[in-house]
């Protein structure tokens, strides 16, 4: 029987930094194998949600579940989750191959298995011939592809993407939007993508959470959000052009 339990669930999650509340009673339920987007202006709490999923931060209260198990205090390295950041965060002193091989090596995979994994991931991001390149020889777009391959080489069940396309120019961003969608579908894993760009969210997602001020204002399909914004904030935010 198919397992219908959400892969990730937040129940009434609160988080403050000092006296500032940055997440306020967040509820969400993510099904495995879908492309989710957290959409909202800067400071709305998107990255903080990703950090709670990855284990970089811990909630003040509420429950965080992974496949039905409480993971509030599970260390980050024990979670089947990896993150791709806007600034790539690659190892500058390693070539492309060694960057992507980093996770598989840590896991203690054999040499052939590592090579196979790295080659598979590099072709997935269309960098099959770039194995031996140094990071500083690559364009920003190519570095972001390496970062995606490196994250995927860890076999995450959930890939978190924190504004991964924001530093890229318009044309490249459009291409990468399609490619990320294709990669997600091909691997069938769960993506949680963060952006402040409503057009990007509408184009890419199965399901969107619109955030403002630490609160989820609305969630639904791109059609739901576009056709029937639930309040003025969502209507104005979706209606803005970047
Ligand atoms: P977003 O990713 O949507 O731009 P963040 O989740 O990064 O927003 O931040 C949400 C709020 O929390 C912002 O007001 C931000 O200034 C604040 N914040 C984030 N991280 C910290 C921190 N380590 N210490 C204090 N405040 C923080
Ligand atoms: Mg952020």
Distance 107 CA to ligand 2 centre (A): 29
Indicate which residue's Cα is closest to atom 15 of ligand 1. 43
C-alpha closest to that of 70 among 136, 146, 10: 10
8 Å CB contact between 84 and 78:
no
Residue 142 has what pLDDT?
95
Sequence-separated (6 or more) residues with CB below 8 Å from residue 161? 83, 84, 180, 191, 192, 193, 194
8 Å CB contact between 79 and 107:
no
Q: What value of ipTM does the predicted structure carry?
A: 0.98
How far apart are the C-alpha atoms of 211 and 46, rounded to whole Å?
7
Burial of 92 (0-12, 13-18, 19+ CB in 10 A): exposed
Residue 88 has what pLDDT?
84
Query: Which residues in the chain show pLDDT less than 70?
Result: 1-3, 241-242
The answer to whether the CB of 99 is under 6 A from ligand 1 is: no
Residue 240 has what pLDDT?
76
Indicate which residue's Cα is closest to atom 5 of ligand 1. 45
Residue 2 has what pLDDT?
58
The answer to whether the CB of 212 is under 6 A from ligand 1 is: no
Residue 4 has what pLDDT?
77
């Amino acid at each position: 029987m198919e397992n219908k339990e959400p892969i990730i669930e937040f129940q009434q999650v609160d988080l403050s930094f000092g006296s500032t509340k940055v997440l306020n009673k967040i509820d969400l339920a993510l099904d495995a194998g879908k492309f989710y987007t957290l959409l909202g202006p800067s400071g709305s709490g998107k990255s903080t949600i990703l950090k709670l999923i990855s284990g970089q931060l811990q909630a003040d209260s509420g429950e965080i579940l992974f496949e039905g198990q409480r993971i509030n205090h599970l260390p980050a390295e024990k979670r089947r989750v990896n993150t791709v950041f806007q600034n790539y965060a690659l190892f500058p002193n390693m070539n492309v191959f060694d960057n992507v091989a980093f996770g598989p090596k840590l896991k203690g995979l054999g040499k052939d298995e590592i090579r196979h994994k790295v080659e598979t991931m590099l072709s997935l991001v269309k960098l099959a011939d770039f194995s031996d390149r140094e990071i500083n020889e690559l364009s920003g777009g190519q570095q972001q592809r390496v970062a995606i391959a490196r994250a995927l080489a860890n076999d995450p069940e959930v890939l978190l993407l924190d504004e991964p396309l924001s530093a890229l120019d318009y044309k490249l961003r459009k291409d990468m939007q399609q490619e990320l969608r294709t990669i997600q579908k091909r691997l069938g894993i769960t993506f949680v993508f963060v952006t402040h760009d409503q057009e990007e969210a509408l184009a890419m997602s199965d399901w969107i959470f619109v955030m403002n001020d630490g609160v989820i204002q609305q969630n639904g399909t791109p059609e739901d959000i576009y056709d029937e914004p639930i309040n003025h904030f969502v209507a104005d935010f979706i209606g803005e052009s970047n």
